[in-house]
C-alpha cells in the first residue's frame, strides 16, 4: 500500500472504519429493528468526524518499526478509534456534557428519542442507560475489529498485552480525572499526573507501542523512542486541550465558548492560574469559575485573569518545551525515516491545532 502522507493514511483508516461499521451494524439490525437507533447513532458518531489520532499513531508506530502497510494492519490500527468512541460517549455521561462535536451527546440523543416517541419512564434515565450501552458496545467492537483484522496470529498475540495495558491506563486516568474534579484540586503537579495518564499514555505513547507490537520483532529500542516521543507530546496535547477548552472558537470546537470555565474543569491551566494569582484575582476567579450561568462578559474576565497571571504564557512555554522533547527523541535514529517525517508532522498537528 502506498499513501500520500497523513491525509492518505487518514483516508485509509476512514474507509476501514466504514467497512467495519457496515458489517457490524447489519448484524445488529438483524437482531431487531429496536436496535436501528443504536446502529445509526454509533455510525454517525464514528464516521462523521474525528481526527483518527490514535489509529494514525498506531499506523505510524508500525511503519517506524519497519512494518509493511497492508489493509489488515489498517484494520487493526483503526480499531483504536472505537476504544476512543467508548471513552468519549462515557465521558459525556460522566461530565453531563450535552454537546459533542457540535451535535447532541449520545445520552442527549437517546433522551430526545425517548421524548419524541413518548416512551414510559424517565427520558433522562433512558438517555444515560443507552449511552452506557453504546459505549460498552464500542469498546467490544474495538476488540472485535482488532481480532478480525486478518493480521498474522503472532501479531495479534504480541499486541494484546499492550492493548490491555493501554485500556487499563485509560480507565485509571479517567477515574483520576473525575476524582481530581471532585477534589477541586489546585495542584499543578496533580493535574499534570492526570494529564499524563489520561492523555500522555493513552493518546500517543500506547498507540505507538501498539503499532510497534503489530510489527513482528520490534526492538526494545523502538519502544523506548516511542515513549521518549509519546509521553511529552501526549502531555503537550492535553495542555493544548486545556487552552482550547478556555479560549477555543465554538465554530471550530463544536462546544460553547469557554465551556471548561462554565463546567469548572480542573485543568493544568486552572491550577497554574490559581498558583500565580494574587488574592484579588484568586477571589474573582473562584467566584465565577464553574458557574453554569456564566455570560460572555464574565468568561472574558476569567480569560483575562488567566492571561494576566502569566499562566497562559507558561502553559504555552511548557507545550513548546515538551514538543521540542518529542521532536528530539526522533533525532537519534532507530526508526524508519518515513516514520520520523510522519511523527514530526503529527507533533505539529497535535500541539498547534485549534479544535
Specify the DSSP class assigned to residue 277.
Answer: -
For a copy of itself, which is the closer residue by CB, 110 or 229? Answer: 110
Q: How far is the CB of 119 from a copy of itself (least distance, A)?
A: 4
b/e map 117-141, b = 16+ CB within 10 Å? eeeeeebeebbbbbbeebbebbbeb
C-alpha cell read off for 211 = 503499532
C-alpha cell read off for 200 = 500522555
Total Cβ atoms within 10 A of residue 91: 18
Q: Could you tell me the CA-to-CA distances from 21 to 28, 46, 167, 205, 210 in Å, in that order?
A: 10, 9, 21, 26, 22
Site string for a copy of itself, 17-36 (x = CB under 8 A): -------x--xx--xx-xx-
Tell me if 279 sits within 8 A of 195, measured CB to CB. Answer: no
Site string for a copy of itself, 237-276 (x = CB under 8 A): ---------------------------x------------
Identified binder of a copy of itself from the candidate list 15, 115, 140, 321, rule CB under 8 A: 140
When asked if residue 137 is in the footprint of a copy of itself (CB under 8 A), the reply is yes
When asked if residue 282 is in the footprint of a copy of itself (CB under 8 A), the reply is no
C-alpha cell read off for 124 = 433522562
C-alpha triplet 105, 75, 45: angle, nearest 5°: 10
Question: Which positions from 90 through 129 interact with a copy of itself, judged by CB under 8 A?
Answer: 90, 93-96, 114, 119-121, 125-126, 128-129
Question: Which positions from 144 through 163 interact with a copy of itself, judged by CB under 8 A?
Answer: 144, 147-148, 153, 156-157, 160-161
How large is the C-alpha radius of gyration of the chain? 21
Q: How far is the CB of 347 from a copy of itself (least distance, A)?
A: 26
Binding site for a copy of itself (CB under 8 A): 24, 27-28, 31-32, 34-35, 38, 86, 90, 93-96, 114, 119-121, 125-126, 128-130, 132-133, 135-137, 139-141, 143-144, 147-148, 153, 156-157, 160-161, 164, 167-169, 171-172, 174-176, 178-184, 193, 197, 264
Amino acid at each position: 500500500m502506498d499513501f500520500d502522507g497523513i491525509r492518505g493514511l487518514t483516508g485509509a483508516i476512514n474507509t476501514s472504519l466504514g467497512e467495519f461499521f457496515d458489517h457490524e451494524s447489519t448484524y445488529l439490525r438483524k437482531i431487531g429493528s429496536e436496535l436501528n437507533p443504536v446502529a445509526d447513532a454509533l455510525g454517525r458518531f464514528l464516521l462523521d468526524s474525528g481526527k483518527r489520532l490514535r489509529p494514525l499513531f498506531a499506523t505510524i508506530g508500525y511503519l517506524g518499526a519497519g512494518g509493511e502497510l497492508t489493509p489488515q494492519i489498517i484494520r487493526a490500527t483503526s480499531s483504536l478509534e472505537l476504544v476512543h468512541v467508548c471513552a468519549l460517549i462515557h465521558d459525556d455521561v460522566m461530565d453531563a456534557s450535552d454537546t459533542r462535536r457540535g451535535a447532541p451527546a449520545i445520552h442527549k440523543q437517546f433522551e430526545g428519542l425517548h421524548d419524541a416517541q413518548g416512551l414510559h419512564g424517565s427520558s433522562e434515565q433512558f438517555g444515560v442507560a443507552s449511552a452506557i450501552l453504546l459505549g460498552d458496545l464500542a469498546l467490544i467492537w474495538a476488540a472485535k475489529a482488532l481480532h478480525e483484522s486478518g493480521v498474522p496470529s503472532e501479531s495479534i498475540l504480541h499486541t494484546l498485552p499492550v492493548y490491555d495495558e493501554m485500556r487499563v491506563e485509560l480507565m485509571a486516568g479517567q477515574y483520576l480525572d473525575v476524582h481530581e474534579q471532585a477534589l477541586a484540586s489546585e495542584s499543578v503537579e496533580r493535574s499534570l499526573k492526570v494529564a499524563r495518564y489520561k492523555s500522555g499514555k493513552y493518546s500517543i505513547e500506547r498507540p505507538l507501542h501498539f503499532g510497534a507490537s503489530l510489527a513482528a520483532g520490534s526492538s526494545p529500542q523502538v519502544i523506548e523512542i516511542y515513549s521518549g516521543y509519546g509521553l511529552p507530546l501526549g502531555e503537550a496535547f492535553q495542555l493544548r486541550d486545556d487552552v482550547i477548552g478556555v479560549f477555543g472558537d465554538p465554530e471550530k470546537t463544536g462546544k460553547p465558548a469557554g465551556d471548561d470555565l462554565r463546567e469548572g474543569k480542573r485543568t493544568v491551566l486552572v491550577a497554574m492560574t490559581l498558583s500565580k494569582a494574587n488574592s484579588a484575582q484568586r477571589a474573582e476567579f473562584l467566584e465565577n469559575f464553574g458557574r453554569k450561568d456564566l455570560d460572555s462578559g464574565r468568561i472574558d474576565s476569567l480569560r483575562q485573569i488567566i492571561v494576566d497571571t502569566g499562566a497562559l504564557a507558561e502553559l504555552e512555554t511548557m507545550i513548546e518545551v515538551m514538543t521540542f522533547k518529542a521532536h528530539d527523541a526522533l533525532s537519534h535514529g532507530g526508526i524508519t525515516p518515513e516514520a520520523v517525517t510522519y511523527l514530526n508532522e503529527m507533533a505539529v498537528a497535535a500541539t498547534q491545532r485549534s479544535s
